[in-house]
Amino acid sequence: MKRNNWGLLFLAIGVALFVGYIVYSNPFAVLTEVGRFDPLMFLAAIGVNYVGLVFLSASWHILLRSLGFKNSFWESIQVSFVGLFVIWMLPFPSGFELVRAYLIRDKEGGNIGKAVSSVIFSKVYYFISFGLMISLAAIIVRFVNGSDIPIQLGFIWFAVLFAISNMVMFAVILTPSIMMWIYDRSPEWLNTFMQKRVYSVDFGLSSFDQFVNEIQDSIMTLRKRPLENLISLFLVGFHWSTGAITAYMVSRSLNETINFWVIVLIYAVIEFIQQLNFLIPSGLGIVDAGLAGALVVVGVPLEVAGAISLLTRLATYWFELFLCGFVSFRFGYREVLRSYLS
């Protein structure tokens, strides 16, 4: 089956799951209750989510500037939005990072090694924030609020270990000696694939050694800028927290009171599911039903949980997709994306 046909198949599966979730949870019964829905609070939730996108772009921009890129903050926002648009439509592992590195590599003051290093550091900081937030939320819910953790402890540990394992994996990529050791012992077909996709002549590289050397130079540069790294980490943490804040504000827009730290735990579950998904665009149906199910576990009525899930996904996916798609096509990235995806 061709790639496009597989994509259509998984999209159809996602649509079927989404329809099933809507039919089962019946969120419109809540949304049509007179006087229950607060549209101003919902609009504020959308705004908070958009602010989170700017935080994400700002975090990466700081790393780029530290590495010598001369691009503007607006360009960093554009490239970040294009990357988000691509992975929402065509999910694949580390797609967001790959698209950003590809689009920024030729900007003044940069190269592919700097570009790859910037997105890897950004991803590592994301997983650090993910692990810290879910751990902090579990501690506050259990020991500060004195409540039972509504999610199985084993799952929380699994999510934290997932974040740690990803940090270790990216740390390997940022260790030149390990990269060279792996390259020397890799099969020929894998090295050929890497040459075409990562360090090809299209990126201005002549060999894997040059690629590794550029990454090594980038690491040395970033190590000399601890303040910039710390600010970048905090901005990623703010981005991650805005997702949970958006979900919390959506629940308040429906006059449903849920402890914020419980929302953080639930949102971490959804984020974990999203990170694992690389088949169905945006996790359509899976993430929606997962969020509704997690809310039901903490005592939210099914119809209300379905409505919160629907509105949260509207704010954090559909409106986000519209904004990022507009930026992608309005500012001339259509041909670049076509070249990359081909």
**Predicted local distance difference test score (pLDDT) of residue 182:** 77
Q: How far is CA 224 from CA 123, 143, 216, 220, in A?
A: 19, 38, 13, 7
Residue type for 319, please?
F
- d(Cα 220, Cα 81) in Å, to the nearest integer? 28
- d(Cα 184, Cα 233) in Å, to the nearest integer? 33
**Predicted local distance difference test score (pLDDT) of residue 327:** 86
- d(Cα 98, Cα 243) in Å, to the nearest integer? 23
DSSP 318: I
**Predicted local distance difference test score (pLDDT) of residue 234:** 93
First to last CA, the chain: 17
Handedness of CA 178, 181, 183, 186 (dihedral sign): negative
On whether the CB atoms of residues 317 and 53 are closer than 8 A, the answer is no
What is the model's pTM?
0.85
74: its two tokens:
């607006």
**Predicted local distance difference test score (pLDDT) of residue 113:** 82
Q: What angle do CA 232, 236, 242 make, to 5 degrees?
A: 145
Q: How far is CA 337 from CA 22, 100, 280, in A?
A: 33, 11, 20
Radius of gyration, alpha carbons of the chain: 21
On whether the CB atoms of residues 113 and 211 are closer than 8 A, the answer is yes
- d(Cα 322, Cα 11) in Å, to the nearest integer? 18
**Predicted local distance difference test score (pLDDT) of residue 201:** 56
Q: 3-state class of 314 per DSSP?
A: helix
Give per-10-residue mean pLDDT for the chain (342 aa). 58 76 79 81 94 95 94 93 84 78 85 86 87 86 82 74 78 74 76 63 63 81 91 91 92 91 84 70 76 86 90 90 86 59 53
Q: Where are the alpha helices (DSSP H) in the chain?
A: 3-25, 28-31, 39-66, 73-89, 95-104, 112-139, 153-173, 176-184, 188-197, 208-223, 226-253, 260-276, 286-297, 302-313, 319-330, 334-341
**Predicted local distance difference test score (pLDDT) of residue 308:** 92
**Predicted local distance difference test score (pLDDT) of residue 219:** 84
- d(Cα 254, Cα 274) in Å, to the nearest integer? 25
227: its two tokens:
């303040």
**Predicted local distance difference test score (pLDDT) of residue 202:** 57
277: left (phi over 0), alpha (psi -120 to 50) or beta: beta
**Predicted local distance difference test score (pLDDT) of residue 196:** 63
**Predicted local distance difference test score (pLDDT) of residue 204:** 56
- Domains of the chain by residue range: 50-341
